Amino acid sequence: MPITWLYSQHGATWFQLGNVVATLLALSILAYLFMRRPRVFVRPSMQVLAFYHLLIQWPVVYLSRFIESWVHDHWHVFILVHGFVLIGIPLALSSGRRTVSEIWSRLRGGAAGAPDQAWAVIALFLAALGCAAVYLTAVDIRDTGLYVLLTDPVHASEARVESLKTLASMRAKYALSVLSSTIAPLFTAFAVYAWLHRTNGGRWSSVYPAMLLPAVWGLALLSGAKGIAVFLVMVVLATYLWDRRLRLPLAAAVLAIPIMLVPAAAYVVVIANANYEVGAMALMDRLLEAVLERAFLVPATTGIWHIDYAQTEGPVGIAGQLRLATALGEGSMRLPMVIGQYYGPAYYGGEVAKHFSANTGFLFTAYACFGLFGLPLALAMLLCCDLPLVLLRLLPRPWLVPTLGATSVAVLKFIQSDYTTVWLTHGFGLIVLLAWILWALRELWPMMSSDARRVSAADPCEVDEALSI
């Protein structure tokens, strides 16, 4: 019997059924791995695949009928989306097994370590203050998106754009970006870990990071972007999960999603009240539009735009990989912006802003550049996501858990942004590098201090003789 209730009164087509079968197959494999071999999700590549399954495969199932009627060769969507996940899983599992086992075993180690993190907490807090100071030298506090959201919510969206996206000062823009995508998530993860392992003997070292947390979040949210608040809440949950080695109690699992939606829901309520739309249905419509559609449909929709653009206008080649093309001295283009301006007016029913971009994951940009030959390229890029494991394996547990908590949320950006942008601007690579640098400095500091003490205690003549040599 055709599943007419899902698609149309005429029943499901082979394309629609194929999407359902492929997505359910991926769900079965990922669920089995999570229950039986949770250590495999230490790999960032497996985390990417899990997010692609949730935020791309399932939306493609939902949009199957639209894709079939709109995309020239809709089977390319099937091959690209489901091939990436179903081929990517065995590829990801085939590499780095010893490193993954070592990291997973370290997660089982002792829980102490809040005093060891004092260096990281203080350094990150000072870095947050420094980045905020750089940003506020270019943007008056009254012009920030956060200030306008609290005082004039109707114009919050415009203020957010003007105080970040169209900001002329690149130094200020990158300072706030590093603060919100790298420093604040890592500080949050360290604060959560310290709170989870607070003891009577080290109560102060466990509590003061949590006391500083609201200040760091306030600085990170200066642009007024609700997405940043959602991601920081997700860092809290991810750090808790890694501290428990991915064992989540049923009660916590039930509460996790509503907790993550609290910042977005609060934002919607503020905007709705400002427009005097306080009815329950108005609030629900705005919440669905601001959260569910943005999170679960927009990445897949903009990805489909990339596929259709390549089939309509032809693959753009290496020019679509902006940073690579620039480095090679080739002609380049801002592909997400070009596609956004191409499809945005028809999708939204009117002109779109000049800065509007159809941001999507590296899988779809690879197709827009090279057609189906972009699938092997995307798989190679997927495997490169595991490079941070080289540094993660060096970190002790008190540093490993917070770093995993912060990077696991940064991985989500691979669904929404360009590949190199996620590594740098969105903090995926910078978080690991920063955590490793802070840990290395902490390890070197006692040795440097002891060497200095030995030199100061030495006989002056011996010191002079050593210096002359």
Structural domain contains residue 379 = no
Does residue 130 contact residue 122 with C-beta atoms inside 8 Å? no
- Those residues whose C-beta lies under 8 Å from the C-beta of residue 423, and which sit 6 or more positions away, are 429, 430
Read off the pLDDT of each residue in 28-40 and give the average, rounded to a whole number.
Answer: 93
Does residue 29 contact residue 38 with C-beta atoms inside 8 Å? no
Structural domain contains residue 452 = yes
* Mean pLDDT score across all residues of the chain: 82
**Closest to 264 (Cα-Cα) out of 234, 239, 304, 242:** 234
The SS3 call for residue 420 is helix
Structural domain contains residue 117 = yes
Structural domain contains residue 155 = yes
Does residue 13 contact residue 77 with C-beta atoms inside 8 Å? no
Does residue 11 contact residue 64 with C-beta atoms inside 8 Å? no
pLDDT for 95 beyond 80 = yes
- Choose the weakest-confidence range: 101-105, 130-134, 186-190, 207-211: 207-211
Over the stretch 63-87, which tens digit does the pLDDT of each residue have?
999 999 889 999 999 999 999 999 9
Per-residue pLDDT, 428: 94
Q: Greater confidence, 380 or 152?
A: 380
**Closest to 223 (Cα-Cα) out of 153, 287, 154, 165:** 165
Say how many C-beta atoms besides its own lie within 10 A of residue 340's C-beta.
23
Structural domain contains residue 434 = yes
Structure tokens that stand for 254 in this block? 């039930």
Per-residue pLDDT, 28: 95
Q: What is the DSSP string of 274-308?
A: HTT--SHHHHHHHHIIIIIIHHHTHHHHHHHHHHH
Structural domain contains residue 425 = yes
Structural domain contains residue 143 = yes
Q: What is the DSSP string of 25-60?
A: HHHHHHHHHHHH-GGGGGSHHHHHHHHHIIIIIHHH
Calpha distance 101→105 (Å, rounded)? 6
Owning domain of residue 220: 113-244+398-469
Biggest CA pair distance of the chain? 97
Read off the pLDDT of each residue in 53-64 and give the average, rounded to a whole number.
Answer: 93
Structural domain contains residue 463 = yes
**Closest to 16 (Cα-Cα) out of 26, 27, 5:** 5
Identify the residue whose tokens are 């608040």: 229
pLDDT for 134 beyond 90 = yes
Does residue 84 contact residue 360 with C-beta atoms inside 8 Å? no
pTM of the complete model: 0.85
Calpha distance 392→235 (Å, rounded)? 17
Structure tokens that stand for 340 in this block? 């956004």
pLDDT for 250 beyond 60 = no
Give me the percent of the chain exceeding a pLDDT of 70: 79
Number of domains comprising the chain: 1
